[in-house]
Amino acid sequence: MSEQKIEFRNIFKVFGKKPLKGVEFIKNGGTKEALLGQQKQTLGINNISFGIKKNEFFVIMGLSGSGKSTLIRHLNGLIEATDGQVLFDGVDVTHLKGEELLSFRRQKVSMVFQKFGLLPHKNIQENVCLGLSIRGEDKESQLKKAQRWIDIVGLSGYELSYPWQLSGGMQQRVGIARALACETDVLIMD
């Protein structure tokens, strides 16, 4: 068994009507600019491979528009690779569908979104409970876990407030608390 918790193997992502044709074009030496000009397709990820060990903090840095968010969204299936594999504990999660994908997201990977992804019609407590509710946990367990993480991120007293009543930094902490409350194996922070 590999010592890697997560492995990205030769990931390509092409956005367009014929993405496999686009990958072939790139593999044969075509450039991102030529792909856009000739095929009207966009190269999002170009042959990325790396591994992440259990308990490792891993940072992906780059300029705006360089593909960081596109890449990490391959791990939880928000974006499907055009070519390549993403392995999680040795299992290929690249093309999970339906209930398998939902189960994987509920149990293995949490995500803090760049734009927070808070539901405006739900208060802070309800937003933090969201993943636990989707998972089917009982209400008492949801509230206990949510309160623990609300306290940890410094939002005690704001449980019944709504996202629009909080500053941007406070909203971000709600997103972090929501992801941490699910206690998944991996936390993705975009």
Residue with tokens 């999680």: 88
- Residues 33-54 have a mean pLDDT of 94
Angle value at C-alpha 92, between 91 and 95, nearest 5 degrees: 140
Q: Which of 66-70, 135-139, 142-146 has the highest mean pLDDT?
A: 142-146
pLDDT at 1: 47
116: confidence class by pLDDT, cuts 50, 70, 90: low
pLDDT at 174: 93
- Residues 120-141 have a mean pLDDT of 92
The closest alpha carbon to 189, from 96, 110, 121, 118, belongs to 110
47's CB contacts (< 8 A; 6+ apart) are 10, 11, 12, 26, 27, 84
115: confidence class by pLDDT, cuts 50, 70, 90: low
Phi, psi of 173 (to 5 degrees): -65, -30
Residue with tokens 């405006």: 120
Please give the share of the chain, as a percent, with pLDDT higher than 70: 97
pTM: 0.74
pLDDT at 2: 59
SS (H, E, C) 156-172: CCCCCCCHHHCCHHHHH
110: confidence class by pLDDT, cuts 50, 70, 90: confident
Q: Which of 104-118, 145-159, 175-189 has the highest mean pLDDT?
A: 145-159
Residue 75 scores a pLDDT above 70: yes
Residue 48 scores a pLDDT above 60: yes
Angle value at C-alpha 181, between 102 and 161, nearest 5 degrees: 110
Question: In this structure, what token pair is assigned to residue 46?
Answer: 């170009």
pLDDT at 145: 95
184/20 Cα distance (integer angstroms):
33
- Residues 52-62 have a mean pLDDT of 87
* Encoded amino acid at 84, one letter: G
What would you report as the CA-atom Rg of the chain, rounded to the nearest whole angstrom?
A: 19
77/190 Cα distance (integer angstroms):
14
- Residues 111-116 have a mean pLDDT of 69
